Structure 1
């Protein structure tokens, strides 16, 4: 009996480790959401608006991957964009506006390439998605705090659905990036909405 229990512990630990190994993007998304959510604790709607950067980064990531038609580029672009966000914040540069400008450049290059080569990348859906989510991130900066935070919260939830769609279709970005982003967007978006509602009540 004792030997059975001893053998079961390592087996369950291995199973748990294997599960985490398979779902590492979700674990990473959970950790990122926890870090972002920590900034919201005891905060106001203004802190919610600051989370707009979590919309602006994936807009650039998805759009870049779509334009160059390289799903595996998603992670390098996401990591580079995140590093740049920290640098911009340290230099008092608004990262959402900078990322929106970068996305606009990528979009223009993509459209020129599409017209010049007669291809279909970036797809119309990616263009609409980039414009919609990008506009939401920028709009949040220029409205009253409560409305801006709600725009961010629902924008993140909308992007979570966007991530799930791309995960299921296994297109544009690698599935691990879509999974990570979906978990992050869902949890952080919900946290921003809860924070905003509690400041209203």
Structure 2
């Protein structure tokens, strides 16, 4: 007999495939977190992930275009790389772009409340991530990981409210932040 009550039925297989495809942002986040943990579970990776994440959110708010957050994933990575290649460092580059986004928000008349909230989040999360780099390696690793994992709370708020960024981005970000952040904390506590 082939029906939804029998796990081996064709219907059940189609349904589980549909559910997996529906949760593609979670898959994207988990794959990215796994790749980052395998490649470099260090405080720079965790801190930079925080910096790029908050820049994505700020960009979407500043331009009042949720899709900009997804573009910001690539854009933030380019900013980090360009900052390093230019010799000014990733954090100076992230800060300069954040400041430019706030100026753009004022010029284009973006709604103030989201821009202010994302600017405060950039300063708070980004400040903690940047501060983690000033600490000794193990405590810095733990702080960077905790900051990244804590960013998942910000993601959850945006996922529930479905404002500022697409729900798909907030979902992917949660699936990245928690495992990568906690993985980095674990490395910091056991190394």
Give me the CA root mean square deviation: 2.8
TM-score calculated relative to the size of structure 2: 0.85
Selected match of 1:165 from 154, 157, 162 = 157
Selected match of 2:53 from 41, 52, 58 = 58
Counterpart mapping for 1:26-175 below 5 A: 26-40=26-40, 47-85=42-80, 94-110=89-105, 112-113=106-107, 117=109, 119-175=111-167
TM-score calculated relative to the size of structure 1: 0.81
Change (3 A) 1:119 1:176: closer
How far apart are the structure 2 equivalents of 1:123 and 1:83? Answer: 22
How far apart are the structure 1 equivalents of 2:88 and 2:110? Answer: 37
Structure 1 gaps of 5+ residues are none
Selected match of 2:177 from 174, 181, 185 = 185
Q: Is the 8 A contact 1:154 1:189 kept in 2?
A: yes
How far apart are the structure 2 equivalents of 1:86 and 1:20? Answer: 33
Secondary structure of 1:51's match?
Answer: helix
**Shift of residue 71, structure 1, vs aligned partner:** 0.9
**Shift of residue 113, structure 1, vs aligned partner:** 3.5
User: Between Structure 1 and Structure 2, whose CA radius of gyration is higher?
Assistant: 1
Change (3 A) 1:142 1:104: farther
Structure 2 gaps of 5+ residues are none
